[in-house]
Amino acid sequence: MTETAADTKVLCQQLQTIWHEQIPLSKAMQMQITDFDGEMLTTRASLEPNVNVHGTAFAGSLYAIQALTGWGMMHLQLKLNALNASIVIASGQINYAKPVGEDIAVRCSFGEHLIEMEKLRGTGKGRFPLTCEVLLADGSPAGEFSGIYAVRLNR
């Protein structure tokens, strides 16, 4: 898999369009891709449309942006591997460690999924565990989402 910065930029623009046009919640949350280097996806959402009664990020918004960031990472990896597939979140678990009183920043690393990718190519289906993390401006973690993304090739 060899991609260029231009390739990843186009893929990110396409993903942003999919999110905002097909998953309206992402647009309402003001969710944006801030960086993707082929292995790490970073997203951000403004605090204002995601605020709770305490002036911090709403727990549902924290769950949604992390689940969507993981979904987006899986989408980007499939595109980088020239695979057309459907992705669903089979399960997800979240840990809210600290309140978030600023714009929400999330990162997701694809990690080592060579075996799962080969299984997907062979059987047409796979399950990919991904972890997303909310980071505060000082770099400290504020929470973590662990999800299993079930993928089925469209044949």
Q: Domain segments of the chain: what residues?
A: 5-153
pLDDT per position as a tens digit, 24-77 = 999 999 999 999 999 999 999 999 999 999 999 999 999 999 999 999 999 999
- pLDDT for the residue numbered 4: 72
Burial of 69 per CB tally in 10 Å (0-12, 13-18, 19+): buried
The distance between the two most distant Cα atoms of the chain, rounded to a whole number of Å, is 49
Mean pLDDT throughout 86-111? Answer: 97
Number of H helices, E strands in the chain: 4, 6
DSSP assigned state of 140: -
Nearest Cα neighbor of 68 from 98, 90, 43, 38 is: 43
Spatial separation of the C-alpha atoms in residues 44 and 33, rounded to whole Å: 6
5-153, which class in CATH?
A: alpha beta
pTM of structure: 0.94
Residue 3's pLDDT band, with cuts at 50, 70 and 90, is low
Residue 1's pLDDT band, with cuts at 50, 70 and 90, is very low
Spatial separation of the C-alpha atoms in residues 133 and 135, rounded to whole Å: 6
- pLDDT for the residue numbered 2: 52
Written as one string, the DSSP assignment of 30-44 is T-EEEEE-SSEEEEE
The CA-based dihedral angle spanning residues 71, 76, 82, 87, taken in that order and rounded to the nearest 10 degrees: 10
- pLDDT for the residue numbered 110: 96
- pLDDT for the residue numbered 127: 96
